[in-house]
Structure 1
Amino acid sequence: MDGLLTPISTSRLSASHNDPLLQEVVLKKDTSKPAHSSGQVIPKSPEEALEVLRNEPDYDQLVATLRFLGHEESAGSSFSIKDPSPITAKLVQVLVSEIVPNYWTLLNEDSHENMSSAIALLLSCLRSLTGVNAIIVRLRALLQEAKLDDNKSKRPDIAINLAILLNLACQLLKGDEPIHGIWTAATRTLSGNLKTRMLSQEMISTFGSGRILSLTAEAIEHAKGHKADVDISNIWLANGLEYSKWLSENIVKWQLSSPAPEETKICSELFLKALRLGHSDMVMKFVLTRLLLAQGADNERFGLLLGSLPRSEQRKMLFSVLKTLAGDYLNRLGTCDTEGSSEMVSAVAGAISSITKNDPDTLSYLVEWLTGSSGAGLGDSIGIRRAVVAVVSQDRDYIISVLEKSIAQFGDQLYVKHSPMLQQEVHAQVLLLSAGYVHKISPLKLSLLMRSSPWLNAISNRLSSSNQRARFLGMVIGEGLSSLVDKGDKRLNFQLEETELPEGKWYKSLVELQDTVGSWDSLLKPPEPMQKKTSVKKLSHKPAATQPRTQGFIIEELSDEEMSEQDDIVAYEKPDSDAEDSDEDPELVKRDKTKAPVYIRDLIRYLRDTDDYDRQKLALVTAPTLIRRKANHGTEVSDHAEELATLLVGLQDKFEMDNFDNLRLQAMIAIVVAQPQIMGQWFAKTFFDGDYSVGQRSSILAALGLSARELAGFEASEYAEAASFPSKSLPEKVEMLFISQGPSNAYHSPSSSLKPLPRNALESVATSITSSFLAPLSAAAADSATGPDVLKLSTFKSRLSGDNATNNDDAEEQLVSNPKIKIKSRTKPRVRAIPNTTAHLISTSFFNPLTARFQAALHSSVSRIRGIMFQPYLLALYLKTLALLLHAAGPSTLALPQMTAELWRLLLSTSVRAQAVGDVGVTQAVLFGLLTLLDLNEYRMRDICQELGKEVVETEGWVASVFEGLRGGDEGGEEQRTKMMAAGVLVRLREGVEKYRLMMVGDLIGL
């Protein structure tokens, strides 16, 4: 063994107590390699550069190597580090895994002095698809290593390396040209369609799949948890909004450079991927604005981008464009009765025409959008429908097709009976608009259509409908189209007050509109808020002019009478101490205290200042009262309602304020109460279309439900009294007389002591309403269980004394165990159906937008809201909100049959019942909705069994299965409460089924 190791030389050192134990050994450099005058090695080939990088070079050697690799075709060589090759992959791997972790800090320090220094050379070497993938692979490897060491002592360098790689990736991809530059560098020497196609697929997968976004987000969370020394505050790649914006900027920049057809296709694929990253509205608006609606933009660029997509994707993209144009330019016009609305509609029509002119087949998508079951811009104003119809009217066959399909759909009995009313109103507008264009293009064709059987059946089915709103639409369309074709006494005129109201006249005037396809120059500037005409009222008393302050002192001689008056003034006593002077530290005393906002614009400014705690707190405390006070005085609230609501919905509890959720909710309720007709629809649209969390969407539903109850008189807000002016209040003694002697109403019961609403205010209201629904049933069940009526003196006395039978254990047990108990009808007086303006407002501005948009989301395969809506808590809250809105409208609303049918069918939809399986919260919400429907339609059971016979039988079967599937063993628990609600629904339904069984026989034959 001793012969295996042979010493080459032996040297002995004299022992010295002053010499250190560890001494530095300097290795001699190999003089055979070429050297620079400064001593660093200058590589002449990629292999030499790889060897230098692997041997831990010093700073000068690193700079010389990076300079060699960064200059393409240097020293007469055709090598480029951006070309995909084996040696390139090795070089990039060494740079990412060894050079960057060791030299990053030094390179950053040097970059502050000279921007064209080594860090710029490093980024130039890594700015390729190989470099980006190497960073992704390294990030994934470090994250996997960190996950494996969860139960062990973690390496401190993992978090540091993750932070360094995150900063490297952000600087590498910064700007709007990296993607285009990476493609140009990679295809410089690439030949062959197959290789090009593979490279394009790899680029789309790398930048469009969200892989970079997810990895950087996970890495930044790990780096934050371990407190890396490297700054990670500006990692924009981990922000979904910033990444989507960066990807959109690169797509636009690439598309503006007039790329080849294969490059345009890559841009289209990246654009499609960007829309699926969660910020589709922002991406669509950004690309549309830069490519089509910008100064000097080539109008064919966006059309080419859209035309490179598959046909199925073109349709979705075109619909998204229409939605963006409607939201940015036309929704603010409302019914388009304002001045300048025709010019804006014409400009939007010109923009749509420029997109579709390169591909005539896209007109068929516009026809589908106008006549499809999802609705032509459901929830948007009529402006977008006017613009699309104007574009389609350029082709005679397509506009006639729109009219024919609209007439056939408008008269379909199933469509009239089952479609949401908001959707029917939208299609009615399309029918009237297209009829006007057909009359202009071919009057004979319109005359023939009005003599055809589809038209006659449409009017007949509309007039025979039990829905009052459906009949109204049939009448206004009949009169509107008849005014175009028939003359004199032959014109159709129903001579009803409804058709002569402003709404009826507006519908009939749509046949006279003729919009043109104009220039979209007016869209190039940002839209300005519409100026509302307001009448300035003259003041009866002019304010006294303020006297200018004079300088110096004024000496004035007072008479004896004035002196005697001055003697009556009692002076204030001097305080013993001053609170401000008692503070030991003068620096802690805040002299410039923030003042409460007086105007709505001040309130908006305070809410936008998210970094100032005092302003945020003061704005939230003041907002409910200020909004209510300003609601009926001037146009401050109406002009800034949407802006104010947007700030409140998206407001975050950054400072963890006390009672934050209640204050924000009360401010939102104040906005809805101040402008119910506008803000009810706006909040419903925001709930489905906005990019908000589940908690923020829940606050929107709470605001809609509670504000509707306040408008109907069920609730009273403490802020309403605080916002009222003293001139509108009675003297205290007189007010007490009215309060003490005022009549009590079952539907209007204001509370004497108002408290702040809790976060689960809707659930509390729903629970109280459920108890009021089940109280008579529980009392009747208790009566049937205790014996004959002559022996029930104590029970009768207890009811007279005001005891509530809801909490009676015997009644609950009897009702749960025997749901077939027959309950006698209650002695509530029958309510006569009379016009109710509040009920009409709740129906049109609150209930219909919510149900129609939910139906549209169910039938849309690309709707992003589907995944959010079927979150159990949010779905249950949504169903309870609809039931509360129906309850707030009351039994006297004329739209009760329509609202009942829509809510009943929505509760029985397959998607809702599927979510109720295994989830007690959703099941309770469905049962609460059914209880509300049965209670409000107590005296309409004959009509219910006649119109909704199949739904009644189907509901009875489903509720019976729910009742049998619940154990109900936990007294007072959720299952017991759910079983009690199911029993109440069964009792009410079986009453109606037994009473009107013969009437339902015809509807039950097919079941």
Structure 2
Amino acid sequence: MDELLTPVSTVRIKPSDPEPDLFRQITVQETQKTNTQQPQTPVCSPEGVLEILKNEPSYDSLIAALQFLSRYRDDGSDVPSVRQPSPLSAQLVRVLVSEIIPNYWTLLKEDGHESKSSGMKLLLYCLSSITAINGVIVRLGSLIQEFKAEGGSHLKRPDISLNLATLLDLLSNLLRGDGWILEAWKVATTDKAGPARVRPRVQEILTTFGSGRIVSFAAEAESIVKTSSADNNIADVWPADALQYTLWLGRNIVKWQLSDTAPDHPKFGSDLFSKTLKLGHADALTKFVLSELVLKKGADGGRFGLLLNNLSPTEQRKILFSTLKQFSVDYLDRLGHCETSESKSRISAVAGALKAIVGENEGARNHLVDWLTSSSGAGLGENVGIRRAVLAVVSQCRDDMVNILEKSLLQFGDQLYIKHSPILQQEAHAQVLLLSAGYVYRKSPLKLTMMMRTGVWMNTISNRLAAPHQRARFLGMVVGEGLSSLVDQGDKKLDFKMEETSQEEGRWYKELTTVSDEIGPPDILFTAQPIPPKKKAVSHTASGKPPTQPRQSGFVIEELSDEDAPEEDDVVPYAKPDSDDEDSDDDPTLVRRDKPKAPVYIRDLIKYLRDSDSYDHQKLALTTAPILIRRKADYGTEVSEHAEEVASLLVGLSDRYEIEEFDDLRVQGMIALIVAQPKLMGQWFAKTFFDGDYSISQRASILIVLGLGARELAGFDTSSYTAAASFPSKTLPERVERLYLNAGPTTAYQKPSSSLKSLPHSALDGIATSLTTEFLAPMAATAADAATGPDALKLSTVTASLADPQKVRRITRTKPRIRNIPNTTASLLSTNFFSPLIARFQAALHSSASSRMRGIMFQPYLLSLYLKTLAILIHASGPSTLSLPQMTAELWRLLLNTSIRAQAVGDLSITRAILFGFVSLLEVNEDRMRDVCMEMGREVVEAQEWVAGVFAGLRGGDEGGEEEQVKMLAAGVLVRLKEGIEKYQLAMVGDLIGFGG
């Protein structure tokens, strides 16, 4: 019955005279003893605080101990003893990190940061020392090792991930602040001990923050926490990000350099800067420090120069060259030929900033001289503005200018340099030679006159005129006429009577001898800095992806052919729709009446591309960009003014909403930019491919865009967007166009403007396969003829084949059709597409500062795609290109590069790309094979030996397999090379003497 009774309430009555409970008395006494003993511990010394912290203090006792540590001064100094390196402070830090933080961190965070007396503020203040940072790192390392010892499972020790998350949160809060390292240095050097004790402390600061231990331990701990935690929710651990940590160190370096301590101890800042450069983000660090110390209002460029003066010569050279690149990219590249007054003032401002950095440092000036005269220097691919600014700084010393002129003249006339250097490199050095000659003539006319009377000058002009490449000869002629105009008078002036030298480009080169730039104040650069992006406006459209089957509104228009239309009715009316789709929904909340309209201006297109939070804007921008850019190309300056901005947005765009045909639409938009502005965008995409911080797939899309854009410019391919982009006023209706143009039953563009031509990811691979098939077809036909007997026996076979039109087309077209490409288009592709790509690749191969770029370039897929792009570019240029000899020599030598051939060992994709490069070279040089053998006899024989080795090393046998295809391609290339060598071997004898030895 008891279980059926439920008590309504329970009342406990305390007896007036309770019985003695011995256990309760003992527990209460022990508790009172503990509570009374703790406050009795004297809080008047760090030793007393250490005892309190070891005995699991209450929260109030902990706050009291932290308050004492934050107020305590040792020996009357201004530094708290807990922050001063000592055995006692090490013990305090160990107890705080190992015992106090895991137990009290949550309570301390709830206490907040508002007041200076809050527990969190006091704790962070007491741990703001290099000893505490090392203690946190050691504790992180020990927990990571414990986690690995447990087999990487968080089930056995779930407390490890919790403690790691707590320590990461502590580290993130502890390192906040731009003056952290400056304060740490003051703490380490305030002690009255001698230099023997201070020096190891300073070295410990450099080792702790500059070695990368903080980033590595924090990143590994963050990975463990994210994989072990159930919810994977962890605060932003910025020390685990190498870029954010590098920028944090950069802010601390700037704080140090701007302090009064830096001039007295300049080596500390330089050493920290040197170590930070090795963390993997040297360019970002240099750009940030440069913007804060030089390119800011009221900044003193000498502080940046002080930072450089104490670096090693190698690091000083690297930072100085990176600084020149930043100046060129941010301020001078958009100026073009720098012919306006605004350009001159901008160059003077950059020269002033550079002069403030270099100062009187002789080593820095020598680096500038090397940058101007080295075989891979002078700003490859950059405009002339940066070279003018550097020469304005160096021109302050007459001896340096004479040295530059002499080195430039010797290098410019060297036969090996003329033969092997990229044409972009030669153009840059020609500009340096002309500019330096003008400075030397204004300072010492007699010196320039004497130099032009020596054999060096005569050999330079002779070697240039004897160069096999047209562009090399052109540079030699403009240099000869430009320098001769300075020292010679009347009929003695050198004049080659060539049309090229009297045109606009030739006149511009020769006028460089009259350019003289002054060193001005860098104030104009402060307003020229890029404006920070504005906050994104709140989009009124839905942020998520719409349903997979969105509702369509309006009429569905279907185009009917003439065959289907009745003859008596010339006009067929459209059927009336049964209902309006937008009004057919029962739920009014599903009706979208705020759909964005398609952009009609380029600035609207940019706005839509930037709005990454709106699916509608992203989809409209991608579908509209190809047509809008092509339509606006020849009307106004919208495209030319915003082309680079649109291109940067398209290259870096990510598919957040899984838009259908996203990659194809993005690539078509970039192709439209190239077709609209080929001179500008060809060089921009080539530069972005090497300099931009993009992924492998984004770089690959740049190569695809360059290849397909070049073929469209050359007339090989036609985009389906071309007809859609034409204005209605420029075209006739399709039916009327048939009557007047006699185009037959079909027009040039059969698809309506609404149909999108799908672009596969292997677009360049398909083109390469097609060109390879056309290259091998004649040889395969010849081999088949030789195997089946004489032509007379095959008369009946050929006669029977004529009945089939497909066979007729296949028989008659044994040789690929050669297009007559205008010289203007061929020159455009050579100058703005091919040369920048190949010159920057060679610069990356030979530059010690481009190790990261070399690693990216030698990625197998990207390297093979790069070589195919170059081959497609030279094929698109065609045999009528005036610069074909130069292009052939550059690509041929690049394909034989030792590093590239080493990557091809064991990799069929790279081997196939190299062979395809030879296919394109042999195809476009079919009518000038004699000149190729005479000019590059060694290279031709070397190519034959390498291809023969590839052919012998491939087994083949797998019909239709990749290895069989590569072997067939190698056989075709080998046959063509042997034919050329056997036919023109007598012309190659002179160049091949000593080749075998």
1:340 counterpart SS class: helix
Distance 2:815 2:464 in 1: 36
Give the counterpart letter for 1:764 in structure 2.
Answer: G
Give the counterpart letter for 2:905 in structure 1.
Answer: V
Q: Deviations over 1:759-803 (max 9, x none)?
A: 221122212221121111222222222222223346645876566
In structure 2, the residue matched to 1:9 is none
Task: Please identify, of 325-334 and 157-166, the stretch whose mean Cα deviation from structure 2 is larger.
Answer: 157-166
1:975 counterpart SS class: helix
Contact kept? 1:830, 1:939, Cα under 8 Å: no
Distance 1:805 1:238 in 2: 67
Give the counterpart letter for 1:638 in structure 2.
Answer: S
1:272 offset after TM fit, Å? 2.7
Task: Please identify, of 246-255 and 216-225, the stretch whose mean Cα deviation from structure 2 is larger.
Answer: 216-225
In structure 1, the residue matched to 2:934 is 946
Distance 2:528 2:613 in 1: 28
Contact kept? 2:262, 2:269, Cα under 8 Å: no
Equivalent in 318, 334, 349 of residue 332 of structure 1:
334
1:737-756 matches, cutoff 5 A: 755-756=757-758
Give the counterpart letter for 1:866 in structure 2.
Answer: R
1:82 counterpart SS class: coil
1:969 counterpart SS class: coil
In structure 2, the residue matched to 1:69 is 69
How has the CA–CA distance of structure 1 residues 972 and 233 changed in structure 2, closer, same or farther, with 3 Å as cutoff? farther
1:187 offset after TM fit, Å? 2.5
Task: Please identify, of 406-415 and 212-221, the stretch whose mean Cα deviation from structure 2 is larger.
Answer: 212-221
How has the CA–CA distance of structure 1 residues 742 and 430 changed in structure 2, closer, same or farther, with 3 Å as cutoff? farther
In structure 2, the residue matched to 1:128 is 129
Q: Deviations over 1:559-607 (max 9, x none)?
A: xxxxxxxxxxxx9999765534443443343332222222111111121
Contact kept? 2:351, 2:393, Cα under 8 Å: yes
Equivalent in 838, 841, 846 of residue 859 of structure 1:
846
In structure 2, the residue matched to 1:145 is 146
Q: What is the Cα-based RMSD across aligned positions, in Å?
A: 3.2
Distance 2:503 2:643 in 1: 27
Distance 2:800 2:948 in 1: 32
Unpaired runs of 5+ in structure 1? 1-15, 530-570, 809-824
1:47 offset after TM fit, Å? 3.3
Distance 1:888 1:40 in 2: 91
How has the CA–CA distance of structure 1 residues 521 and 25 changed in structure 2, closer, same or farther, with 3 Å as cutoff? same
1:399 offset after TM fit, Å? 0.4
Distance 1:739 1:200 in 2: 86
In structure 1, the residue matched to 2:871 is 883
Task: Please identify, of 669-678 and 238-247, the stretch whose mean Cα deviation from structure 2 is larger.
Answer: 238-247
1:273-352 matches, cutoff 5 A: 273-352=275-354
| TM-score using structure 2 length | 0.88
Contact kept? 2:422, 2:835, Cα under 8 Å: yes
Give the counterpart letter for 1:888 in structure 2.
Answer: A
1:519-538 matches, cutoff 5 A: 519-527=521-529
1:971 offset after TM fit, Å? 1.8
Task: Please identify, of 918-927 and 142-151, the stretch whose mean Cα deviation from structure 2 is larger.
Answer: 142-151
Distance 2:722 2:128 in 1: 62
Distance 2:131 2:647 in 1: 47
Give the counterpart letter for 1:847 in structure 2.
Answer: F
1:248 offset after TM fit, Å? 1.0
Distance 1:586 1:837 in 2: 59
Give the counterpart letter for 1:948 in structure 2.
Answer: M
How has the CA–CA distance of structure 1 residues 642 and 79 changed in structure 2, closer, same or farther, with 3 Å as cutoff? closer
Unpaired runs of 5+ in structure 2? 1-17, 532-572
Q: Deviations over 1:972-996 (max 9, x none)?
A: 1111111111111101100001101
How has the CA–CA distance of structure 1 residues 262 and 133 changed in structure 2, closer, same or farther, with 3 Å as cutoff? farther
1:88 is the counterpart of 2:89: yes
1:933 offset after TM fit, Å? 0.4
Equivalent in 958, 963, 966 of residue 978 of structure 1:
966
1:838 is the counterpart of 2:825: yes
2:986 counterpart SS class: coil
Contact kept? 2:253, 2:272, Cα under 8 Å: yes
1:1004 is the counterpart of 2:992: yes
Distance 1:104 1:995 in 2: 85
1:718-797 matches, cutoff 5 A: 718-733=720-735, 735-736=737-738, 755-793=757-795, 796=798
Matched pairs, number: 927
Contact kept? 1:159, 1:228, Cα under 8 Å: no
Equivalent in 903, 915, 931 of residue 891 of structure 2:
903
Equivalent in 716, 719, 729 of residue 717 of structure 1:
719
In structure 1, the residue matched to 2:944 is 956
How has the CA–CA distance of structure 1 residues 414 and 750 changed in structure 2, closer, same or farther, with 3 Å as cutoff? farther
Task: Please identify, of 454-463 and 995-1004, the stretch whose mean Cα deviation from structure 2 is larger.
Answer: 995-1004
In structure 2, the residue matched to 1:105 is 106
How has the CA–CA distance of structure 1 residues 593 and 997 changed in structure 2, closer, same or farther, with 3 Å as cutoff? same
In structure 2, the residue matched to 1:695 is 697
1:626 offset after TM fit, Å? 1.5
Q: Deviations over 1:282-301 (max 9, x none)?
A: 32222112112222222321
Equivalent in 925, 937, 943 of residue 913 of structure 2:
925
Task: Please identify, of 290-299 and 69-78, the stretch whose mean Cα deviation from structure 2 is larger.
Answer: 69-78
Task: Please identify, of 102-111 and 236-245, the stretch whose mean Cα deviation from structure 2 is larger.
Answer: 236-245
In structure 2, the residue matched to 1:670 is 672
Contact kept? 1:924, 1:978, Cα under 8 Å: yes
2:704 counterpart SS class: helix
1:200-215 matches, cutoff 5 A: 200-215=202-217
Distance 1:157 1:658 in 2: 46
Distance 1:132 1:806 in 2: 78
Distance 2:576 2:947 in 1: 75
Distance 2:239 2:798 in 1: 72
How has the CA–CA distance of structure 1 residues 79 and 729 changed in structure 2, closer, same or farther, with 3 Å as cutoff? closer
1:970 offset after TM fit, Å? 2.1
How has the CA–CA distance of structure 1 residues 67 and 697 changed in structure 2, closer, same or farther, with 3 Å as cutoff? same
1:749 offset after TM fit, Å? 13
Contact kept? 1:159, 1:222, Cα under 8 Å: yes
In structure 2, the residue matched to 1:607 is 609
Q: Deviations over 1:138-175 (max 9, x none)?
A: 22333333334446535333332222222211111112
Q: Deviations over 1:887-916 (max 9, x none)?
A: 111111111110000000011011111111
Equivalent in 843, 855, 872 of residue 860 of structure 2:
872
| TM-score using structure 1 length | 0.87
1:379 offset after TM fit, Å? 1.0
Task: Please identify, of 575-584 and 884-893, the stretch whose mean Cα deviation from structure 2 is larger.
Answer: 575-584
Give the counterpart letter for 1:777 in structure 2.
Answer: M
Give the counterpart letter for 1:483 in structure 2.
Answer: S
1:459 offset after TM fit, Å? 0.6
In structure 1, the residue matched to 2:376 is 374
In structure 2, the residue matched to 1:448 is 450
Distance 1:70 1:230 in 2: 36
Equivalent in 245, 248, 252 of residue 246 of structure 1:
248
Distance 1:858 1:751 in 2: 46
1:992 is the counterpart of 2:994: no
How has the CA–CA distance of structure 1 residues 435 and 103 changed in structure 2, closer, same or farther, with 3 Å as cutoff? same
In structure 2, the residue matched to 1:4 is none
Give the counterpart letter for 1:612 in structure 2.
Answer: S
Q: Deviations over 1:255-300 (max 9, x none)?
A: 1003246742222222233334343333222211211222222232
Distance 1:394 1:798 in 2: 83
In structure 1, the residue matched to 2:835 is 848
How has the CA–CA distance of structure 1 residues 651 and 612 changed in structure 2, closer, same or farther, with 3 Å as cutoff? same
Task: Please identify, of 726-735 and 401-410, the stretch whose mean Cα deviation from structure 2 is larger.
Answer: 726-735
Contact kept? 2:478, 2:506, Cα under 8 Å: yes
Distance 2:24 2:608 in 1: 66
Contact kept? 1:669, 1:704, Cα under 8 Å: yes
How has the CA–CA distance of structure 1 residues 890 and 574 changed in structure 2, closer, same or farther, with 3 Å as cutoff? closer
Contact kept? 1:42, 1:61, Cα under 8 Å: no
Give the counterpart letter for 1:768 in structure 2.
Answer: S
